[in-house]
């Protein structure tokens, strides 16, 4: 019996016995699974939740098909659904009943997020509850902190409020607080505030690298937190910078961050990889943001791509870049698809 010989129809080159053939491991699904380098599991996913006042509320978000604002009384059913899908963590955002220049409801004992934390923990004690620590949803002007007379965000004065927010979330039962404003010193201030109130066990997931991205538009509809004027480029990072991301991450590590987050994900996979390689000792999250979600949904709705395949490819790519956790609005669908293929 002669050996099989493959001939290049153009060059006439023969790949004879002993030829290198990487395709051998791609021949069947079982072979591909056996040598797959990157895994994706429902336990890697964090599902964002938007909570608003009221009862029996499920308000769809037009720019984010499948996502809705929920009232606190709907959270028990949500927690049960997530548990059934194998999703272990949520990230909470709140829409307050009232907004003011100081964002007072952000740290109120009966604030919307504080109520939501207690409801989720009562319904599902094992669920990891992460909470957003920022002021943009609570201020009447929509900015991430206190402003001076010229509309410039006051860094150190805002830090005091962030500390109060974090403590109020910890008092309500949050497992992890996630400061997202990209303010200088936010991690150190929050760590000191938590420790002073005997919340040493509460972890800080810092938005260490958050870019001033155009891909946050749908989120601002969902969280009702768009700035009334100006933008957030005085504190969020320039989208062109990479070395600065390393400096920001290093500062947060020095201040006591328990985990780091890069936001957005898809346009910044190089940053995800660099942060992972520089700080491998810390868990790393990446935020697959609202604009990224909306793009896939819109393309799928138009029949331009296979939504299931595209979503799983996107999430696997984020994991491959080095993210341990992925905050994503695709979490429920992805978890269900992963379970079907298991």
The CATH classification of domain 39-341, taken from the options 3.20.20.70, 3.20.20.80, 3.40.50.720, 3.40.50.300? 3.20.20.70
The sign of the dihedral angle between the CA atoms of 253, 259, 261, 266 is positive
pLDDT in tens, 98-140: 888 788 889 899 999 999 999 999 999 999 999 999 988 888 7
66 vs 221, more confident: 66
User: Tell me, what's the pLDDT at 222?
Assistant: 74
Nearest to 335 by CA among 89, 35, 125: 89
pLDDT in tens, 54-84: 999 999 999 999 999 999 999 999 999 999 9
Q: Where are the domains of the chain?
A: 39-341
207 contacts: CB under 8 Å, gap ≥ 6: 178, 179, 180, 181, 182, 261, 263, 287
In order of 68, 148, 166, 251, the CA distances from 158 in angstroms are 29, 11, 13, 18
User: Tell me, what's the pLDDT at 122?
Assistant: 97
User: Which pTM does this prediction carry?
Assistant: 0.91
Backbone phi, then psi, for 301, in 5-degree steps?
-65, -30
Relative to beta strand 325-328, strand 45-52 is parallel
24 contacts: CB under 8 Å, gap ≥ 6: 31
Q: How far apart are the first and last CA of the chain?
A: 40
Residue 236 contacts residue 290 (beta carbons within 8 Å) = no
User: Would the pLDDT of 10 be above 90?
Assistant: no
pLDDT in tens, 225-250: 666 655 776 878 999 999 999 999 99
H/E stretch holding 293 reads: helix 290-301
Catalytic (active-site) positions = 210, 263
Taking each continuous run of H as one helix and of E as one strand, the counts in the chain are 11, 12
Relative to beta strand 259-263, strand 128-133 is unpaired
What letter would DSSP give residue 131? E
């Amino acid at each position: 019996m002669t050996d099989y010989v493959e001939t290049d129809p153009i060059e006439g080159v023969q790949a004879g016995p002993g030829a290198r053939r990487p395709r051998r491991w791609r021949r069947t699904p079982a072979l591909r699974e056996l040598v797959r380098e990157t895994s994706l599991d429902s336990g890697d996913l964090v599902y964002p939740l938007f909570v608003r006042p009221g009862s029996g509320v499920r308000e769809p978000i037009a720019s984010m098909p499948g996502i809705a604002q929920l009232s606190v009384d709907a959270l028990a059913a949500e927690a049960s659904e997530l548990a059934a899908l194998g999703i272990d963590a949520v990230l909470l955002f709140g829409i307050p009943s009232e907004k003011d220049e100081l964002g007072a409801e952000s740290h109120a004992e009966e604030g919307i997020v504080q109520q939501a934390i207690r409801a989720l923990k009562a319904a599902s004690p094992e669920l990891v509850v992460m909470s957003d620590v920022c002021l943009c949803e609570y201020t009447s002007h929509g900015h991430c902190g206190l402003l001076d007379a010229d509309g410039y965000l006051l860094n150190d004065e805002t830090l005091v409020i962030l500390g109060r927010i974090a403590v109020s979330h910890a008092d309500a039962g949050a497992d992890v607080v996630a400061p997202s404003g990209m303010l200088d010193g936010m991690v150190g201030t929050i760590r000191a505030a938590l420790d002073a109130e005997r919340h040493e066990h509460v972890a800080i997931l810092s938005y260490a690298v958050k870019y001033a991205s155009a891909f946050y538009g749908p989120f601002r509809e969902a969280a009702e937190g768009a700035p009334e004027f100006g933008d957030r480029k005085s504190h969020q990072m320039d989208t062109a910078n990479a070395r600065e991301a390393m400096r920001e991450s290093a500062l947060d590590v020095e201040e006591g961050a328990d985990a780091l987050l890069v936001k957005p994900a898809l346009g910044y996979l190089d940053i995800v990889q660099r942060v992972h390689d520089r700080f491998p000792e810390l868990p790393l999250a990446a935020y697959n943001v609202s604009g990224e979600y909306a793009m896939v949904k819109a393309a799928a709705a138009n029949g331009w791509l296979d939504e299931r395949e595209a979503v799983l490819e996107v999430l696997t790519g984020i994991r491959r870049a080095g993210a341990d956790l992925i905050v994503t609005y695709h979490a429920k669908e992805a978890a269900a698809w992963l379970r079907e293929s298991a």
